[in-house]
Structure 1
Amino acid sequence: MSGDLRVNASRFRAAHEADWERLEALITRVEKKSVRALADDDLFALPLLYRSALSSLASARATSLDRALVGYLEQLCTRTYFQLYGPPSSAGTQVRHFFTHDWPAAVRGVWRETLGSLLLTIAAALAGFLLVQSDPSWFYGIVPQGMAGGRDPSATAEALRETLHGSGRESALATFATFLFTHNAQIAIFSFALGLAFGAPTALLIAYNGVSLGAMMAVFADKGVGLEFAAWLAIHGTTELFAIVLAGAAGFRLGLALAFPSRLARSDAAILAGRSGATVMVGTVIMLAVAGLLEGIGRQTVDSDLARAGIGAAMLAGWLLYFYLPRRRDGPR
């Protein structure tokens, strides 16, 4: 009789062991990192593997199979239950994991869309620059009056230089900075949200932002203060423009998932893209807030063009290292 039990136990293990091993590997990865470390296919398979393990445990108990096997399955099911339904980690742990893993991983996951968003911004900025240089009246049709804040083709070189260095115009500069932050935050949020329309409105918003930037640059360059404007922009613009490019990338990812869902249902593809895009967007809001602080600090305490350019370059290098510096592999995505 005991021989039959051993044979049955061996057959039972052979039939289900691959699923148990896969479940154990997935749970071990979740325990070491988080459920976000799992690839999409593994994420969908996890509850199915858990139910299969529960069924195996019930069968093992009912047929009095190998006690060690029963103990192994009990431990595996308990670990899985705790990860799926147990109390969530502390808020501090979740915040730390967001900054150390979730946000950088989400940004790396949309690198192709980020490159596309960047190239579109550069092309649109060049177009805006050339349009305004060829005919300054284009400026008034591109840049809103509130955003221009007196920085238009009719301004003198001295007036434009004053707006960059704040000589006696701190209130006006602060108002402009607030408008600029609100404007760019709206572009970033809408760039992601409108990705639901297959990414077309996202492309228009990113292009519009680039054209506006190019038009502003043309005004300053025409009056001989283009380098000073670039330095003023760099101190906060490397962070701010990077954030908008990432928002556009998140919108493009959402639009592409809807247009080309691959093997998934269109709704499932949109959910997966929206989840990673939302992570990118939370970080984008943080970047815009950092840009606002940099703009305020630069306006009040840093008046050297070289120092402004240096801070901007350092911030850009820091963001690139933070997002794209190779890390320990954390599972397929």
Structure 2
Amino acid sequence: MREVTFLRKNADKWKHFESLLSRKNKKNDPDELAELYIELNNDLAYTQANYPGSKTEDYLNQLSLRVHDEIYSSKKEGFSRFISFWKDELPLLYAKKQKELLYSLVLFLLAVSIGVISSANEPSFVRMIMGDSYVNMTISNIEDGDPLAVYKKASEMDMFFAITFNNIRVSFLAFAFGLLTSLGTGLIMLRNGVMVGTFLHFFYKYDLLADAMLVIFIHGTLELSAIVIAGAAGMVLGNGVLFPGTYSRKDAFIRSAKEGLKMVIGLVPIFIAAGFLESFVTRYTGMPLWLSLFVIISSLFIIVYYFSIYPIKLKAKHAAS
């Protein structure tokens, strides 16, 4: 390849690298810097082999050194790294994945609709999805005047650990099934959404839907949101396998796996908060209406703000800096 052709082919990429290094607010993603350093070294090695002593070699050598210095100057461990992860790195990643979050939400709501419609048209569907023992127990609780007594039976701490572990398990399954492409994640989302729709229709049939939602969504707002976000992480993983773009399939897979795993790690506080609410708060089924609404609306606001509004605002701020 002629040197001028090589320059034209890579000029835009190198300019992008320079812009990252010259930003006023230098809070670059360490993973992105590492990938940048690898690419530059590959270009430099090619230049040294084909255009030794050229200005291109000198330019790439200097640029590579700048990236190297940036990587090692940004390796600040400890509390500041922890803060920057939650304040900048993770929200910027979510800003890039708004499309996947939307697709995951639409798929989940579609699955909920399937659960509702199936339950409405086939009375035995609820037992097939939720099991005879749960349905019989809930019917018995309804007859006793306490339809959501199931949340009061176990001790708070036992419930907290069991529920938190289950939420983590379901979310990691939704992510991990992305290894089977996005269809794998879609199956997990479909299963959970149908279950939710069936559950809601079951209480609707007994004219208890509003009462049930005011109790269940105290923890369910966070819990279901975590499933949707984990589904988006699975889609990121699956799309990396299916659509590598300009990367090799292996590099695209590694990149998408890192991004998806970070998205799931971002759900850890949600797992803990949802487990706490379900174990220690949801059991008080007779709490005032205003208090239930306060918890539900506050939870929804936190989810929408941190995973959508704040990331978009932060991305715009970084683009303008």
TM-score by length of 1: 0.74
User: What pairs with 1:1-333 in structure 2 (closer than 5 Å)?
Assistant: 25-29=19-23, 32-36=26-30, 38=32, 42=36, 45-47=39-41, 80-85=67-72, 88-143=75-130, 148=134, 152-153=138-139, 155-163=141-149, 169-171=152-154, 179-299=162-282, 303-325=287-309, 326-327=313-314, 328-330=316-318
Cα distance, 1:152–1:214 mapped onto 2, change above 3 Å: farther
Deviation, structure 1 residue 75: 9.4
Distance apart, 1:195 and its partner CA: 0.3
Q: Which consecutive unaligned segments of at least 5 residues does structure 1 have?
A: 1-16, 61-69
**DSSP 3-state at the match of 1:329:** helix
Deviations 1:217-247 (A, max 9, x none): 1222222211111111221111111111011
One-letter code aligned to 1:315: S
8 Å CA contact 1:231–1:306 kept in 2: the answer is no
Distance 1:36 1:228, change over 3 A: farther
**Matched residue, 1:14:** none
The whole-number CA distance in structure 2 between the counterparts of 1:253 and 1:261 is 11
Name the SS for the 2:245 alignment partner.
coil
After superposition, the CA RMSD in angstroms is: 3.9
Aligned-partner SS, 2:266: helix
Cα offset for 1:89?
0.6
Is contact 2:25–2:318 with CA below 8 Å preserved after alignment?
Answer: no
Any idea what SS the aligned residue of 1:161 has? Answer: coil
Distance 1:184 1:77, change over 3 A: closer
Give the Å deviation of 1:163: 1.6
Matched residues, number: 300
- Contact 1:238 / 1:315 at 8 angstroms: preserved in 2? yes
When structure 1 is superposed on structure 2, of 221-230 and 201-210 the one drifting more is 221-230
Name the structure 2 match of 1:12.
none
Higher-Rg structure is 1
| Contact persistence 2:111–2:197 (CA under 8 A) | yes
CA contact (8 A) 2:37 2:67 kept: no
| Change in CA separation of 1:213 and 1:48 when aligned onto 2, cut-off 3 Å | same
